[in-house]
Amino acid sequence: MPHDPDLPPAKKFKPGSVFFRLEKNKPGMLLPRKGNVTTPIEVQRKQLPIYHARTRLVNELRQLHNAIVIGETGSGKTTQIPQYLFEAGIGRQGLIAITQPRRVAAISLAARVSEEKRTQLGKLVGYTVRFEDVTSPETKLKFMTDGMLLREAIGDPMLLRYTVVVLDEAHERTVHTDVLFGVVKSAQRRRRELNKIPLKVIVMSATMDVDLFSEYFNKSPVLYLEGRQHPIQIYYTKQPQSDYLQAALVSVFQIHQEAPQSHDILVFMTGQEEIEALARTCRDIAKHLPDSCGPMVVIPLYASLPPAQQLRVFQPAPKGCRKVILATNIAETSVTISGIKYVIDTGMVKAKRFNPGESGLEVLAVQRVSKAQAWQRAGRAGREDAGFCYRLYTEQEFDNLIPTTVPEIQRCNLAGVMLQLMALGIPDVMNFDFMSKPSPEAVRSAVEHLELLGAVERKDAQVLLTALGKRMASFPLEPRYAKTILLSADFSCSEEILSIVSLLSVDTVLFNPSARRDEVLAARKKFTSSEGDHMTLLNIYRAFKKVGGNKEWCRENFVNSRNMGLVKDVQAQLREICLKLNLKLESCGADTGNVRRCLAHGMFINAAELQPDGSYLALDTHQAVAIHPSSVLFQAKPAYVVFNELLHTSRCYMRDLCLVDADWLLDAAPEYFGRKLHLTRS
Ligand code: CDP
Ligand code: MG
């Protein structure tokens, strides 16, 4: 097994297999290396592997109505193909949409492509993501999240503004991508039937098994791009690791001490909280290392990071300084970061899990990645040169991973999807043309969920959208949040509910540095409400607005001022939707009882009851759950709560709780609680 002479493999790792090379390096074809930022952008475009296939690719794509394009991450698919189409005059009668599963990718790609075209972002090249639209009448290349294109389809089911839709990152199989597959396919067919301008559909992806896709998209041809992948040496741990965070920390510093300073490290982790925590630990330790070690800059990367912060990962580190990027699976394929030589793969990912049979509630769980994901992660180290991947699990654990990730549509609560499909006017949602069908139980449970919320009703074996359901579909939110907002007018507390829903729509507005725990607790105390986390958040938000978003105040109170700024934007947009729906917008002032009543009415499906032994039972599914230690109600243990989400780690935790009365739950859904849960009035 060849070793990099610069780096003796760390003692606890043993060498494993080697990633193979798809194409030999050709001199002069290397991507711009780190630090070499002076390469003009036109030259950079020509250095991409895809450039050599340009003419053939354009000729093929001109003729085809459906095409699947497969190529390694970084080969230039996303940034170049839309430009090639545009430059060749393909689809000039309309817009070219390029969908992305993630906001950060849509934004950074639009920025990159507009830079390549030397235009201002939002002119020729723009983007649309939830709560943000940077496009203009001049826009021809539009990067957008798949969720946004789906929303546009509600008003325009044939997607008539577009002549080309590029469904990118198809292998990710997010629930929105999967629904879009069906929506786009049907739009294409209807346009053909009605003799409209044809819609070209291009599905793009990193390496994957394409048969399913090709079959689904009318036996569409597959165009393979030759990639450039350098050998990657894989290391496994000798022993299973009980604490992957600790293992990641050790690995980062082992590499930092041994590898040349110019080599950057990318660590795959599961979410914002642990990324921020590890980032702080790394920075602390780095300060105390001997001078021989050289400086290190630690950069977090996760979906909810504000765009400006996300863009930091693309900037080269200062000379002589090592860049350590701590990322979620966002860095698997969505974004290409140059300069990465080392990948550390914890083997874990936070993803949705849903089992309609035993627990009807969707759970966010930290779980093992699939083999396909592990290979994608490893591949990030070999973009520009040979690289290394440290897997923080044993080779046997790798062998036991599932081969590919189950599509999200088969493991999430489908209520939101069903509502959207119905709002799209799909006649028979139960038999929608999904590429991978969700189980009948999952569909049934979603319809039940919507029925409980009053969004749909059954008539002669048909499921129909109600007037309320139609209004709910106007919001780019989960059905229960939409319902809560609509209800808030009846409780005269729309302003408060809008604030709360907006606060819950961004990742977290609180900053909890573990090293300053006592200070955090002291600062938080002023806002803590015995009525729960929603009310605590509302108190913080009210105080934030009172001081006019003052940055100093945010720092003193451990509040994330950027995310708070985002909350304001989200709220403004939700308010606009409310105004369109003629919803009365009022504030309940100090009388916050109504806010909790409203939350109970909107979120009653997520209610839990205290048991005599001090544990909790989720009332919908009779599943044992516990209050997350981060909740302000952790000690208080009220009799009844509603919660926002379940997080499965060592136990099933409820996060973001609100204290409610049993009576309110009964009022919200008398039949449901009476029949199912034997809840009685106090
Ligand atoms: O889609 P694919 O993974 O095949 O590649 P891409 O996203 O089109 O990226 C091609 C190259 O463009 C990357 O390797 C980067 O060098 C560059 N790029 C960039 O500098 N900044 C971005 N935001 C996106 C891409
Ligand atoms: Mg791409």
Q: Model confidence over 407-428: pLDDT tens digits?
A: 988 888 889 989 989 998 887 7
In the prediction, which pLDDT does 23 show?
31
Instruction: Name the CATH topology of 232-408.
Output: Rossmann fold (3.40.50)
Q: Dihedrals φ, ψ of 640, to 5°? A: -135, 140
Whether residue 71 has its Cβ less than 6 Å from ligand 1: yes
Token representation of residue 494: 């729309």
Contact between 298 and 283 under an 8 Å Cβ cutoff? The reply is yes
CA distance linking residue 388 with residue 177, whole number of Å: 32
- pLDDT surpasses 90 at 549: no
The residues whose Cβ lies within 5 A of ligand 2, an ion, are: 77-78
- pLDDT surpasses 50 at 678: yes
Domain range annotation of the chain: 19-25+39-225, 232-408, 413-474, 479-674
In the prediction, which pLDDT does 316 show?
83
Contact between 142 and 97 under an 8 Å Cβ cutoff? The reply is yes
pTM as predicted: 0.80
Whether residue 112 has its Cβ less than 6 Å from ligand 1: yes
Whether residue 31 has its Cβ less than 6 Å from ligand 1: yes
Query: Regarding beta strands 623-627 and 640-648, do their DSSP bridges make them parallel or antiparallel, or are they unpaired?
Result: unpaired
Q: What percent of the chain has pLDDT over 70?
A: 90
User: Quick one: average pLDDT of 186-207?
Assistant: 94
pLDDT band with cut points at 50, 70 and 90 for residue 4:
very low
Q: Dihedrals φ, ψ of 226, to 5°? A: -70, 130
What separation in Å is there between the alpha carbon of 73 and the centre of ligand 2? Answer: 6
Rounded to whole angstroms, what are the CA distances from 559 to 87, 273, 311, 535?
Answer: 46, 14, 22, 16
DSSP of 384-430: SS-EEEEESS-HHHHHTS-SSPPPGGGSS--HHHHHHHHHTT-S-GG
In the prediction, which pLDDT does 38 show?
59
Token representation of residue 351: 């993803």
Token representation of residue 666: 């009964």
Mean pLDDT of the chain: 87
Token representation of residue 382: 């070999």
CA distance linking residue 269 with residue 639, whole number of Å: 36
Nearest to 45 by CA among 89, 87, 80: 80
- pLDDT surpasses 80 at 89: yes
Q: Which residues, in sequence order, are CB contacts of 252 under 8 Å at separation 6+?
A: 265, 267, 282, 324, 344
CA dihedral in degrees (43, 44, 47, 49; nearest 10)?
Answer: -140
Contact between 303 and 103 under an 8 Å Cβ cutoff? The reply is yes
In the prediction, which pLDDT does 354 show?
66
One-letter amino acid at 217 equals F
| Domain covering 413-474 in this structure, CATH number | 1.10.10
Whether residue 505 has its Cβ less than 6 Å from ligand 1: no
Does domain 19-25+39-225 fall under CATH 3.40.50.300? My reply is yes
pLDDT band with cut points at 50, 70 and 90 for residue 512:
confident
Higher pLDDT, residue 234 or 308: 234
Q: What is the 3-state secondary structure (H, E, C) of 509-534?
A: CECCCHHHHHHHHHHHHCCCCCCEHH
In the prediction, which pLDDT does 14 show?
33
> pLDDT for 163-185, tens place per residue?
999 999 998 898 899 999 999 99
Whether residue 78 has its Cβ less than 6 Å from ligand 1: yes
Contact between 525 and 532 under an 8 Å Cβ cutoff? The reply is no
Rounded to whole angstroms, what are the CA distances from 460 to 19, 452, 457, 464?
Answer: 57, 18, 10, 10
In the prediction, which pLDDT does 351 show?
86
What separation in Å is there between the alpha carbon of 333 and the centre of ligand 1? Answer: 10
CB atoms within 10 A of CB 308: 9
> pLDDT for 623-648, tens place per residue?
899 999 889 999 999 999 999 998 88
pLDDT band with cut points at 50, 70 and 90 for residue 529:
very high
Higher pLDDT, residue 74 or 523: 523
pLDDT band with cut points at 50, 70 and 90 for residue 3:
very low
CB atoms within 10 A of CB 313: 23
Please determine whether the domains at 232-408 and 413-474 fall in the same fold group of CATH.
Answer: no
Q: What is the DSSP letter of 631?
A: S
- pLDDT surpasses 60 at 383: yes
Rounded to whole angstroms, what are the CA distances from 80 to 24, 52, 77, 536?
Answer: 22, 12, 6, 47
Nearest to 630 by CA among 660, 655, 658: 655
Helix (H, G, I), strand (E, B) or coil at 600: helix
> pLDDT for 275-300, tens place per residue?
989 999 999 999 888 888 889 999 99
> pLDDT for 205-220, tens place per residue?
987 778 889 999 989 9
- pLDDT surpasses 90 at 462: no
User: Quick one: average pLDDT of 202-206?
Assistant: 92
Token representation of residue 5: 């002479």
> Measuring from atom 12 of ligand 1, which residue has the nearest CA?
76
